[in-house]
Structure 1
């Protein structure tokens, strides 16, 4: 079976992009999968996609360099005069309507008329409408909802109610949203169901270090309410002076959040980290995660954090968090839109090491239900049901189990006075940091300094005492006269 996904821009970062990448990767184990990206704004996708999954852009919007070719080998901007005309096929009422044009209509219509796919899946309302309006009858037409019914305007809902009846199936990510559509937008003859998003196991999980770090990740957008998270952290910060908060992501609220952090005097404890293409690396640096959205259609970041071994403090907002978190077992649900309620949840986990560890273990176990192995079968069952076929028995898709993060060869502890301690031996209950070297060598250009570790494997590096010049110093270990560079380092600051 050949399955094609239509997405607005596969070359960016976001929940829908990550979901499509996960679905395509899992399905491509047994099917031919193609991702059709209406827009292409960069050479390669930010998020990894298996090489066996083809990505086909329809309109290249890069301003410089080779813009490639489109359908039939034509330059992608051939007929670009139509880019100045408003769309007729793609509904302008969609939140991305202003970026579409008669040109994108042409490319979408041509793709649907010529594709050899068996199933075409839309991933936002406007693209679902395009499929409903223009896809030939022989194609199986599936619309996916990655937001919720309530997040759409009345004008867009009227269009969806009219056009979605031409779909074969419509899929939401939560049962609650499926019930809402069933009650408020009946779609006779359309298979309506919910299938949660899948999240693969990360390459590694947290190694058990108590980092005293809270991690949040997601678009810096108004609905994510990172402002409440910062305010909540400020309420309990004095009680837990060794804790820090890292917020990953980009968005329109970046400037306002920075000003809020400064106004609260939290510059040294709340860090706006920017976007991270490998979010599992961000999760692995935390003790627990925080999600403070006022609305959350599903909650990909919640599942990603749990799959990385982190319990999650989340607002109990519509619709996703309560369908993922088991309150008090693998995370905490706190009142929506309440800085004080969020603060109480943060303090509960910040102040109880044993509770965090129990919840972390429970989060790992509970989040396995979102593994692609378990979710992909639901999509396969739907596609074969719509095709009137029996789902063939197939060997299970093999997904490698996550491994624990390997112990670092050296741990660096940085104090507020700028003095660093290089630790090559077990500390704080850790094991496996490696054997203690005979000497530790610091080098920079012609500069060279040899230091001897103490009996615990620690080396104190004081730039002032050792008269070390400002710059980057390379660290080597010396054993039996042979020097080797230290490449695997954990830094605690």
Structure 2
């Protein structure tokens, strides 16, 4: 089987990048399939997560992200120009490589890749929820474009041989599509690291940007610190991104430097989970919530905003974690303190949290992918 994955880049320490590398590693090392990756914005940077030997990465040098600093008009014109070049270069590559299956990780090539008649089956894999474009609430022309593109997404996804979403919740939002399937991300082995939930440490992991909502977590931590009972607890946030300086300023302005740390991403996140007693997710939106599954597989109970989409599929409220209405910051603080103040509750939830691997084990998830790819290849 010959498969080509199309994505933005591999240089960032994000969940989508980690999931892609994990899947490619499984397909290459366990099934000995021919798998390669095509990027648009790699810019010569190394992959943050190591790829197995023999996996080729081809960067087309489109560099969509270069237009992020331009005006609205500049962004639109730049995107249209880059998109034409992207289609031309990707068409040439696919006609030359002749893969059995091409997987788009959305959104750069999703609008045109079904038009490339290279003989391969086309799969669209969405790592965000259907309404991810609207979560920013942008106004003016950009807001109009967000609404238009969300509407266009419904037309685009129907053109693929298979359209894969990560949660049952998101599948419901898309409606009765003939080609839709749900395949979640896997709870990977974190190196045998497990938490005893005794350390007075809370962990959060993700990119420092609007999506992950760590400003809301810092606000909730203010409530906790004012309570006075949890002065010996610490919050560690692991990530990088454009909000780093803003979050640092929030921490300093609220005199929280002694209890909150912003840490660089790490390749040894399993060890960090094992040294924590609570994972918190404060995202404004998600596609799945990979860090929840990873931490829970290490026995770490979870507290999360019930955002679209993911936490509701992963967390059984009151059993392996707690769900809080999205945006309810005082409620988030109360949920965190409920677990922080009750070791026996954390211990019971830890046992349940580890059972997440029953649903999201690597084998269970990859079996679904293998069945999907095999069924397409024989058609």
TM-score range, shorter chain: 0.7 to 0.9
1-structure distance, mates of 2:346, 2:79: 44
Q: Which residue matches 2:299?
A: 309
Contact in 1 for aligned 2:197/2:278 (Cα 8 Å): no
What pairs up with 1:28-427 in 2 under 5 angstroms?
A: 28=28, 29-30=30-31, 31-59=33-61, 97=79, 100=82, 102-136=84-118, 138-152=119-133, 153-182=146-175, 186=177, 190-208=178-196, 210-237=198-225, 238-388=228-378
Contact in 2 for aligned 1:22/1:199 (Cα 8 Å): no
Relative distance call for 1:38 and 1:360 in structure 2 (3 A) is: same
Q: Write 1 or 2 for the structure with the bigger share of helix.
A: 2
Contact in 2 for aligned 1:144/1:170 (Cα 8 Å): yes
Relative distance call for 1:314 and 1:99 in structure 2 (3 A) is: farther
1-structure distance, mates of 2:195, 2:313: 27
Give deviations 1:68-109, integer Å, cap 9, x for gaps.
xxxxxxxxxxxxxxx99xxxxxxx87xx94894544333212
2-structure distance, mates of 1:321, 1:109: 38
Give deviations 1:24-61, integer Å, cap 9, x for gaps.
12222212221222232344211122224332323297
Relative distance call for 1:99 and 1:281 in structure 2 (3 A) is: farther
Relative distance call for 1:141 and 1:304 in structure 2 (3 A) is: same
1-structure distance, mates of 2:127, 2:160: 16
The alignment's TM-score, normalised by the length of structure 2, stands at: 0.86
2-structure distance, mates of 1:348, 1:209: 14
2-structure distance, mates of 1:163, 1:325: 31
Relative distance call for 1:269 and 1:117 in structure 2 (3 A) is: same
SS at match of 1:4: strand
SS at match of 1:142: strand
2-structure distance, mates of 1:281, 1:60: 37
Q: Which has the higher contact order (CA 8 A, sep 6+)?
A: 2
Say whether 1:25 aligns with 2:6: no
Contact in 2 for aligned 1:135/1:141 (Cα 8 Å): no
Structure 1 window deviating more from structure 2 (117-126 vs 230-239): it is: 230-239
Q: Which residue matches 2:138?
A: none
* TM superposition shift of 1:157: 3.2
* TM superposition shift of 1:218: 0.4
* TM superposition shift of 1:385: 1.9
Relative distance call for 1:318 and 1:243 in structure 2 (3 A) is: same
Runs of 5+ unmatched residues, structure 1? 62-82, 85-91, 390-493
Give the RMSD, CA atoms, in angstroms.
2.5
SS at match of 1:360: helix
Relative distance call for 1:97 and 1:215 in structure 2 (3 A) is: farther
User: Which has the higher Rg, Structure 1 or Structure 2?
Assistant: 1
Relative distance call for 1:99 and 1:342 in structure 2 (3 A) is: farther
